[in-house]
């Protein structure tokens, strides 16, 4: 009778290591998706953006403008939006099954309709694992003073 509690007690650390390892793997793959998004907007890699942006993306800009996947990509392709610099100062990733939330502080330089913007922002990205890959379903930035 005492073997069952002992086996259970021995299994808990093993399961904890397994779940922690899985959590770290998810966080690492989401971080890679996040950094790939920023690289793609800098390089105008529309093929990659087409894959990483969910078809039902909601993209809230700090200005209050709201884009869909189609309107955001159109803004980038027309050079209405042109990113020149993205630098993360802080990043926190939390995973919840097939959904992950990225919160970050970052500096972005871009032009919006020819007007230069160089600001610090708070960023929230929500990624969902769809079709075997992490896709961005929600973007929101808040401009810091």
At 106, which CATH number? Answer: 3.10.450.50
pTM of the model: 0.83
Q: Which domain holds residue 67?
A: 3-143
Torsion of CA 64, 119, 35, 113, to 10 degrees: 60
Number of domains in the chain: 1
Over residues 37-76, the pLDDT tens digits come to 999 999 999 999 999 999 999 999 999 999 999 999 999 9
Distances (CA, A) of 66 to 72, 106, 135: 9, 20, 18
Instruction: Classify residue 44 as left (phi > 0), alpha (psi -120 to 50) or beta.
Output: left
């Amino acid at each position: 009778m005492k073997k069952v509690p002992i086996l259970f007690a021995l299994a808990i650390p093993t399961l904890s290591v397994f779940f922690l390892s899985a959590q770290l793997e998810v966080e690492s793959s989401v971080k890679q998706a996040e950094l790939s998004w920023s690289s793609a907007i800098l390089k105008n890699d529309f093929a990659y953006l087409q894959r990483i942006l969910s078809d039902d993306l909601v993209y809230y800009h700090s200005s209050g403008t709201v884009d869909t996947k189609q309107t955001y990509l159109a803004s980038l392709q027309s050079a209405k939006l042109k990113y020149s610099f993205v630098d993360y100062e802080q990043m926190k990733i939390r995973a919840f099954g097939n959904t992950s939330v990225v919160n970050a502080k970052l500096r972005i330089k871009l032009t919006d309709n020819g007007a230069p913007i160089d600001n610090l922002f708070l960023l929230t990205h929500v990624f969902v694992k769809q079709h075997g890959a992490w896709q961005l379903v929600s973007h929101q930035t808040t401009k810091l003073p």
